[in-house]
Amino acid sequence: MAWHALNAHETIRRLRTPLESGLTTEEAARRLAQFGPNQLAEARRRTFLQMVVAQLKSFVVILLIVAAVISGIISISQHEPLVDSAAIIAIVILNAVLGVIQESRAEQALAALRQLAAPEAQVLRDGRRQTIPARDLVPGDIVFLEAGNYVPADLRLLEAINLRIEEAALTGESIAVEKDATSLLQENAPLGDRKNTAFMGTLVVYGRGRGVVVSTGMRTQLGMIATLLQSMEEEETPLQRKLDQLGRTLGIAALVICGLVFLTGILQGGNILEMFMVAVSLAIAAVPEGLPAIVTISLALGMREMIRRHALIRRLSSVETLGSATVICSDKTGTLTQNAMTVTRLWVDGTFIEINGRGYVPEGEFTINGQPVDFNEYPAVLTALWIGALNNDAVLEVNPNNGENAYRVVGDPTEGALLVAAAKAGALPEQLQMAYPREDEIPFDSVRKRMVTVHAVRAPRADDASPFNETISPNVHVITVKGAPDEVLRLCRYYQDRYDQPQPLDEASRQRILQANDAMTREALRVLGVAYRVVPTLPEHTEPEALEHDLVFVGLIGMIDPPRPEVIPALQKATRAGIRTLMITGDYPNTARAIAEAIGLLHPHHQVLTGAQLDAMDDATLQHEVQRTDVFARVSPQHKLRIVEALKANEEIVAMTGDGVNDAPAIKRADIGIAMGITGTDVTKETADMVLMDDNYASIVAAVEQGRIIYSNIRKFVYYLISCNLAEIFIIFLPTAFGRWLFPVAGRVLSPLLPIQLLWLNLITDGAPALALGTEKGEPDIMDHPPRPPKEPIINRFMQIGVAAQTVAITAATLLAFSLGLRQDTTLAGTLAFVTLSSSELLRAYTARSERYPLLKIGVFSNRWMNLAVLSSMALLLMVVYVPFFNPIFATVPLTWEHWKLILPLIFLPAVVAEITKAVLGMRKVQR
């Protein structure tokens, strides 16, 4: 039988737990060995070998391995060193190692976040109350719950005193659930109705309780959902698909051209082995050996930058996906707002008082029409605040952190907001509680909609003023009431004017208060009414009827979870970038609308939809309505999945945030799933592609911007590498196919470059500048353009024109240099071709730093990594040419100044052509 269907006595009996003393240490250790630690098991991690194999699945990498094997066989057959094949295999290994290291680091960082989130538990063991790590809990442990605690395991409650638990992480319900330890439920009762049970990962927001552990770890409700999620398959990211497609295209083209060159050479009378070596050279030229490693390194650098922007990327390939996002689906609480209820407005005696400040920091100003409030003129303001702080069970904690005080509220956020507002006016809770110690209370409940506290009055110091306009006497008591304004007002006979004088509450005054309440609620404020009564002696029986009459109504206190200040500029940046932001919240429509309007998220002629309205729509209708809906309110996590599906059906690239376990399916289905690092559950973090370490929407936009920069940089070095490699293909292909006509002086089929020279070019000359392109800071207007079309290839039409222009320029320059050298010697010709090709590609790398901006505008030497790459590559090139040891290996000869004078104009030609191409393409784009 289910635990929630058993009474407390039967539950204790079945678990064999002594109620008075709890489990013994020995028995707890035995059960820990039997049931295992109380923690969610991670999805089965890939082994090191599996992670390495995953890095080798790319078509380009497979092609490189094949090329290395063939090159090795040829080298062995000719008794030559395995230089070419060893270099290719080294690149493949480097790529795999980098990928494995970065993904392992992401998992380690996530494990650190998980460790920070792991709570402790207060348990009864060996007859005494003690604190233990939550992972050491076992079935049968008796656990104590207090406001601010996370429930550490699934518990059958034994005691619940005003206990309310927020179960949004599990059920998606934003309103805290009142618990009742004595209720018995049907065995098939849904989770949300199990009032005698507390679930792992949920938060105690009010009251206290005691329960016995019935399930731990993966046997909890949280663990059951985690088990289901681990079976979901992952999709390839757009970058993975595009790079694999590019690799296949290059590989197939290389094989076709290699075959064509081999056959052409044979038909022209070339030696079979020599023609095969030429074909291998062409294969090496066709495949950008450094591309996989450079992509991996670029993504790793981007991942490091993401962490600096408070975003932890769990998979390298997900970095780029952010850059293509067209829609961000964001939670409201804590992401768009501060996740700190804040008193922003008071009303006393016909006057509205504004209060500023941020979060739970007790600093802020009180103003009326922009002017500071003189509390001597408005003492009733202090009275209202004092009542809110006394009629209160929350605690405002302060902890020093790096020389600054960090504040947090333990307890109900609404009551915490009242404490902070009182502290802003100079009253600390501890001081008020000493001056007015609580003697009795009637707790808040959802039926009465109010809370009552009774306080004795201790004689304060002479410089203290009474907030209740009575002579301070140790014989009097103060009754305070806080709750729904209409309910509190119904119990009042008087109201307090601005000077703290009670006045008779006539109908006109009553209507004035109700109108003020309506005005505040229309602004989506949560409004509480506060009242008091001073009595010489307490009634014999402190029943509600004896306390709640003839009250003095003091004022209205309005609060809201305000928007984060940084959200508004972040939203504006996202809008400029063509990215829609949708608010998806479990809060009420009026509150969601007010926040959306305040931050500029709700656009004209767009609407707010509720979960109930979603339920009434079929998928086709939702697919249409989602295009003109900016806010979804009162939705459950199940609705999130439907919203993601509707957006993806409209071919949107969706980023979805979430923190609760039930958010995980929508996060998994989104193109980029974003978990909250602070409030998110472990299951959600395991599911997500990205973990937001500060739960801030602005960090999402910053991550999107960084994703765009990363993708732009990847395009730049792919553009650079492809144009270089295509030129190298034609440099090998044209002399092989038409050499007798192009270079009649040679008298035979001749390749301007050797395989080892091509490999040196691809790994050293091309690789270092390409990697430096991955460190570019991005175009200054990168967030002023709409997201790229999801189906757009990495090399788009404009870039294809640039590739063609560069291929022609580099090929022409290199072959012309080779032709000039043939007049003297074939080795000199090869050296001139090698130096011209290497140097022109190095200079051309500078022009690839921007797709649209001229080199002079972005600064010729503004990328220090590019300067270092070009200088080091040039130094290595000169070493190959001028160090005698390398001359026979690379078939080079030292060049004289006369030689340099011949090829310098050719070296600069591709860079000049690149700048002219950018200018022409830019003008055509503007005209269109």
pLDDT in tens, 846-870: 999 888 888 888 888 889 999 999 9
Give the type of residue at 513: I
- Yes or no: domain 321-337+565-701 corresponds to CATH 1.10.357.10: no
The predicted structure's pLDDT at residue 30? 94
The predicted structure's pLDDT at residue 462? 37
**What mean pLDDT do residues 237-255 have?**
68
3-state DSSP call for residue 194?
coil
The predicted structure's pLDDT at residue 164? 85
The predicted structure's pLDDT at residue 895? 93
pLDDT class for 281, splitting at 50, 70, 90?
Answer: low
Q: How far apart are CA 840 and CA 632, in angstroms?
A: 56
Residue 340 near residue 413 (C-beta atoms within 8 A)? yes
**What mean pLDDT do residues 391-420 have?**
82
Please check the confidence at residue 112 and state whether its pLDDT lies above 50.
no
The residue behind tokens 């507390």 is 198
CATH topology for the 245-309+710-927 domain:
Calcium-transporting ATPase, transmembrane domain (1.20.1110)
The predicted structure's pLDDT at residue 828? 92
Element (H, E) at 544: helix 544-547
Q: Residues 734-791: pLDDT tens digits?
A: 887 776 666 665 555 567 887 778 777 776 777 788 888 888 888 888 898 888 776 7
Please check the confidence at residue 840 and state whether its pLDDT lies above 70.
yes
Please check the confidence at residue 927 and state whether its pLDDT lies above 50.
no
3-state DSSP call for residue 303?
helix
| Better-predicted residue by pLDDT, 789 or 446 | 789
Question: What percentage of the chain reaches a pLDDT higher than 90?
Answer: 32
Please check the confidence at residue 270 and state whether its pLDDT lies above 50.
yes
Residue 285 near residue 268 (C-beta atoms within 8 A)? no
Q: How far apart are CA 786 and CA 59, in angstroms?
A: 31
| Closest by Cα among 301, 300, 179, 324 to 241 | 324
Please check the confidence at residue 577 and state whether its pLDDT lies above 60.
yes
Q: Is 646 exposed, middle or buried (0-12, 13-18, 19+ CB in 10 A)?
A: buried
The predicted structure's pLDDT at residue 457? 85
The whole-chain average pLDDT of the chain stands at 82
The predicted structure's pLDDT at residue 232? 47
Q: How far apart are CA 501 and CA 386, in angstroms?
A: 16
Phi, psi of 276 (to 5 degrees): -65, -40
Segment 304-309 long-range contacts (CB within 8 Å, at least 24 positions apart): 305/706, 306/690, 306/703, 306/706, 307/109, 307/693, 309/699, 309/702, 309/703, 309/706
CB-based contacts of 824, cutoff 8 Å, min separation 6: none
Please check the confidence at residue 585 and state whether its pLDDT lies above 50.
yes
pTM of the model: 0.69
Least confident of 303-312, 610-619, 777-786, 839-848: 303-312
| Closest by Cα among 126, 176, 136, 170 to 17 | 126
Question: Which residues carry out catalysis?
Answer: 331
| Better-predicted residue by pLDDT, 463 or 445 | 445
pLDDT class for 227, splitting at 50, 70, 90?
Answer: low
**Cβ neighbours, 10 Å, residue 408:** 14
Domain ranges of the chain: 3-35+139-215, 245-309+710-927, 321-337+565-701, 356-540
Q: How far apart are CA 477 and CA 534, in angstroms?
A: 6
The residues facing 455 across adjacent strands are 438, 478
Q: How far apart are CA 575 and CA 786, in angstroms?
A: 9
The predicted structure's pLDDT at residue 271? 67
Residue 157 near residue 209 (C-beta atoms within 8 A)? yes
Q: Residues 23-51: pLDDT tens digits?
A: 999 999 999 999 999 887 665 666 667 66
Highest mean pLDDT range out of 47-61, 250-264, 544-558? Answer: 544-558
**Cβ neighbours, 10 Å, residue 441:** 16
Q: Kindly provide the b/e burial profile for residues 689-707, where b requires at least 16 CB atoms within 10 angstroms of the residue's own CB.
A: bbbbbbbbbbbbbbbbbbb
**Cβ neighbours, 10 Å, residue 192:** 12
Q: Residues 514-523: pLDDT tens digits?
A: 999 999 988 8
Please check the confidence at residue 114 and state whether its pLDDT lies above 50.
no
DSSP code at position 42 = P
CA distances for 285 relative to 38, 77, 162, 289, 750, angstroms: 56, 22, 75, 9, 16
What CATH class does 356-540 carry?
alpha beta
The predicted structure's pLDDT at residue 235? 52
Question: What percentage of the chain reaches a pLDDT higher than 70?
Answer: 80
- Yes or no: domain 3-35+139-215 corresponds to CATH 2.70.150.10: yes
Query: Do 3-35+139-215 and 321-337+565-701 have matching folds?
Result: no
The residue behind tokens 């934003």 is 174
| Closest by Cα among 148, 150, 144, 180 to 162 | 180
pLDDT class for 390, splitting at 50, 70, 90?
Answer: very high
| Closest by Cα among 135, 142, 141 to 119 | 135
CA 55 to chain centre: 24
